Structure 1
Amino acid sequence: MNKMKNRNIFFSLVNGSNLSPKQKYIPVKNYSNVLSEEINIQENKQNQDTILSEKNNDDDLEFSSINELRTSMAKNIDLEFKKDATTMVFADGDPNSKIMIVGEAPGEEEDKKGKPFIGDSGKLLEAMFEAAHIKRKHMYITNVIPWRPPANRTPTKEEISKSQPYLLEHIRIINPKILVLVGSIAMKAFTNTSEAITKSRGIFKEHRNCLYIPIFHPSYLLRSPSKKKISWNDILQIKEKYKELI
C-alpha cells in the first residue's frame, strides 16, 4: 500500500460507496472538513464489563518477557489447525507503544508473511489510522488466535478459550494505555460481554490503568461500506485519547 504523504489527503472512507478492489482508497482533499459531526467520546465507568482475566486467578499465566510468552504459545496452545498453518503470527509493531491493537486471527496473507493485519483488511485499518496521523510503526498489533484457521473461518469458542489466557497475559506484558479491540471476537475474548459489537463499538471503558474500545473489524467495513463513517468517528476518538497521552 502506498503511504499517504500529504496531510490533506484522505481516502473515501465516509461516503459508503461500493468500491472495486482497485478503488478501495480514493483520495479526497481536506478530509478534516468531510466530517462535520462532533466527536462524542463516551466513557462509561459505571457499566464496566467483567474482564476475563479476573474470573479465575488459578488459571492465570505469567511470563517475564514477550519472548517467553511467544515460546510458550508456540508450544502449549493446542489447536488442531495449527499444524496446517504456514507460520505462527505473533505480533508486529512497537512493544513500548501506548496503543495495542487486537484482532481476530491471521488471514492468508498474514499466514504467508508472519505479520498481522497486512491483507486487505489490514491495509484498510492501517489507512484509517494513518489518516488520523497514527502510524502503524507506533502501535503494537496482535490477534486472539496466532494461527490461520482453515479457509479463514471464524474461530470456535473452544479455540478462543485455549488462546484467551495467552492473550490476556500478552496485554498485561505490553501494558497499553489504549486497547483497541477489532471485531467481536477480540471484544469477547477480552470481556465477557453478551452485547453485540454494534452496541458496544465506539465506547471507551476503563480497566485498571487502560482504556479499551471495541471497533468494527475492517473486513466488515469492506463488506458494508456504509459503516465506514461511524468507524472513522471511532478512529477519531482514539486519536483524541492518543493525543492526550503523547
Structure 2
Amino acid sequence: MKMAYQPSQVFASFTPQTEETKHLPSNVQKGNKLVREVQVSSTGESFLAPDRATVQVVVTSSKDSIGDVKSSTTRRLDYIIQTLHTHNVKEGDVTISKFIQRVDSLYTMEAEVTIIFVDFTKCQSVCNFLVEKLDETVKLHPPHFYHCTKSLEGLRRLACLNAVQNARQKALDVARLLRQGLGRPLAIREEETTEIEGSPRGSANGNDGPLTFQQRIANATVTVTVKVFAQFELVSREKGRQTKT
C-alpha cells in the first residue's frame, strides 16, 4: 500500500492559565474549561492503486440453424476456457452467460465470459493471447480496474491514522516551542474526508486515443484525504516526559 503525506497549514491555539484560575485548587483547575491545551488541525493522505481487474470477452455467432450457432459459439468458448486453465485462472473467477435470439431467418447467439484478475501481468498475457488467436467474432473489452471493499476500508483507516499522527506531531512541536510538555489527548474529531479517483501524480491521458494499460490503472487509483481537529493537554516538561515514557 503506497502512502503520501500532503503538507497542510497548521492551525493551533494555546489556552494558558489566567490570574483568576491559577490560584484555584488543583482539582478545580483540572476541569475541562480550565485545562491548558493546544488545538491543531491537520490532514493525512494515502493513495492506493487498484487490486482487481475485470475483463469481458464476448463471442457472437449467427447461423441458419440453432445447432450450427450453438456449435460455432461453443467451439470458441471451449478455446477461451482452455486458455484460462492454461494460465491458471481459477474457475471461481470466471462467469459465463449465454443468450440466443432469432432475427428474421437467422439464429444469433451471444456468449459473455467475465474474468476477474488479481494478477495484472496474467491479465495482460491472457488478453494478448486471445486477441492474437481468435477471429473478429470474439470481442475483448479493455480491462476495468477497481478495488475490493476490504482494500478501500483499509485505505480510509490509513488516511485517518496519518491525519491523527500529523496532528499529534504538530501539537508536540507547538508544545516544545512554548517550553511545555504534551499531555493526554482531550478530543480528536474527523472533520472532512475526500476520495478522488485518479493518479495523485497527474498522469492522465494527454491525447484523444485509447487509454494504455498503465493509464487505466492510474485512472483507477484512489486517493483519500482526511482532515482532523485535535486537542491535547499542555503540561509541565517534567510531567510531559513521564507521559511520553
Instruction: Sort the TM-score into its range (normalised by shorter chain).
Output: under 0.3
- Structure with more of its chain in helix, by fraction: 1
**TM-score, scaled to structure 2:** 0.20
Give the structure with higher Rg (CA): 2
Q: Normalising to structure 1: TM-score of the pair?
A: 0.20
